Amino acid sequence: MATRARSGEYVEVEEAARLLGVTTRQVARLGSAGEVSYVGRGLVERASLAAYLRERGFSRTRAWDEVTAWAAVALLSGLEVDWLGQVQTSRLRSRLRQLAESETGAHELVGRARNRAATRTYEYYDFLAPRMRKDMVVVSRRGLGLADARKDQVDGYIAADELDELEKRYGLRRSARGTMTLRSTHFDTNGIKRIATQGNGALAALDAAGSLDAREHDVGARALTDHLEEFARGRARA
């Protein structure tokens, strides 16, 4: 393990805490929650730290709660929001317009909307892909000029109360470098499917902007900026 740590694949907990700007105890908590890969013996997988930081964008401001995050995605997608009050919705619209005026608005939106789902990555197995896609809401990225999914990749949203059962059923193994991505959420998956299929592609842009792949991230960030600008001009349409 020490040899692998020296190679740069892992970092000491103290270094992980410095990179994340938290305490070593908080690093351990993140490991227990599956948000970073805490491998024991005082080591954390470096790739999982990069994923954690990228998902939060450049903003260190507080993230929206789950229902507000999905409301923001729905508004950007050109869809109506009926699960927030009128005052909350009005404030959210104003905040989205403010983000549209910021040079780092897209990156801040990635951070603010991170609580829409908890993201976990797993090792990919060919025989699992078709089965897993049936259990999740897959968001098409064709509108971004990106392939929906490589042969060795699965990415989609799933109900949070089903995730642990799926892990056990299929024997899924978590890996920060895995190409099977499950985004678990307590929000109604039927609502997510509506956003994914009837919306204008804002959700796909948001997912891509949070990717560790440089090309996907850049494409998603540019598209997200366009969606914010369209929203600010009052032209967001599904």
User: What pLDDT is recorded for position 236?
Assistant: 61
Mean predicted confidence (pLDDT) in 126-146: 89
Contacts of 92 (CB under 8 A, 6+ apart): 68, 71, 72, 75, 84
Best CA proximity match to 222, nearest among 198, 206, 233, 200:
206
pLDDT in tens, 60-102: 568 899 999 999 999 999 999 999 999 999 999 999 999 999 9
Query: Are 18 and 108 found together in one domain?
Result: no
My answer on whether 22 and 136 are in the same domain is: no
Residues 100 and 198 in one domain: yes
**For residue 80, is it within any domain?**
yes
Q: Does 203 lie in the same domain as 166?
A: yes
Q: How sure is the predictor about 233, in pLDDT bands with cuts at 50, 70 and 90?
A: very high
Say yes or no: 39 and 77 in one domain. Answer: no
Residues spanned by the domain of 122: 70-238
Domain finish residue from 55, 79, 98:
55
How far apart are alpha carbons 103 and 58 in whole angstroms?
A: 11
Does residue 197 belong to any structural domain of this protein?
A: yes
Instruction: Name the token pair of 31.
Output: 């490991």
With respect to residue 65, please indicate whether it lies within any of the assigned structural domains: no
> Does residue 89 share a domain with residue 46?
no
Whether 151 and 80 map to the same domain: the answer is: yes
Is 99 in the same domain as 26? no
What is the total count of domains within the chain? 2
Establish if 62 belongs to a structural domain: no
Same domain, 48 and 125: no
Q: What is the mean pLDDT of the chain?
A: 86
Residue 61 lies in a domain: no
Q: Are residues 132 and 30 in the same domain?
A: no
CB atoms closer than 10 angstroms to residue 220: 24
Residue 63, in any domain of the structure: no
Within this chain, do residues 51 and 83 fall inside the same structural domain, yes or no? no
Residue 60 within any structural domain of the chain: no
Task: For residue range 174-216, list pLDDT tens digits in order.
Answer: 877 788 889 999 999 999 999 999 999 999 999 999 887 778 8
Q: Are residues 237 and 134 in the same domain?
A: yes
pLDDT at 7: 47
Confidence band (pLDDT; 50, 70, 90) for 8? low
Which tokens hold the place of 172? 């899924």
Q: Which of 36-40, 42-46, 146-150, 218-222 has the lowest mean pLDDT?
A: 146-150
Helix segments in the chain, DSSP class H: 2-6, 13-20, 24-32, 46-55, 66-76, 86-100, 105-112, 129-134, 160-170, 189-198, 202-209, 214-232
At 2, the pLDDT band (50, 70, 90 cuts) reads: very low
